[in-house]
Chain A
């Protein structure tokens, strides 16, 4: 996939150049350089506190950066105002805590963006929302409020909410970390399906099997830096750095 897009000389969907960020004294992102090509599935792994979530969140400016550049399809990420809002609408984001709008039905959660931001008429937005809810398998829950759904159902609905905006790329910030074990796979299945359909994805996760199976490229982060990146098989079978070997050993084991 990488060679192919390089050959086409296409503009990366997401590009980070020399991105730095501090939380007070803590240097959470150190000179991050990263490109995500169209249709690529990038999986970001690393120990907690490594900055992987923060990096994911900088891409639609839920976190600001201190220096460096973030480009979306070659254009600098706007800093504020209507331009930023428009750019955010084009990038999907799935959160660890689902963050479905608690006071709305699932259907309203999915139609809100298209209706308010894209100006899609209600009946059309609802028709498309039902298709998406069908696709992620929660169509029967459309009239319920989020609290009435299981975690796995909520997360699948949240994915549908993002997809309703027809995003250029989707970011997943530890989408299965808050789920009970038996619900993890139903969410991962939806993500695998998305990846197969060619969605450009950045996935921060601890699900190593998913990374191995779906990722085009794995990025390993530690202490705010990208320590290693490469094809999943290569990374998991022959990690080059000691840091990555230690991390992989620590999560294997049992």
Chain B
């Protein structure tokens, strides 16, 4: 059976526990934000790749149309 009202810990010892609890919380949030930041970076990179792909395809399509036009003449 645990004591219902244990005596309060001295400040130097209690401080370690309080700091520990708040640091754990902070670390969890930082880890989560870091994961989200990595995710956003991946989305940005994929978006750049996709923009590049769309530009290449658009330029390639234009070049092909010009070639067809020249050969038709």
Say whether A associates with B. no
Contacts from B to A (Cβ < 8 Å):
none
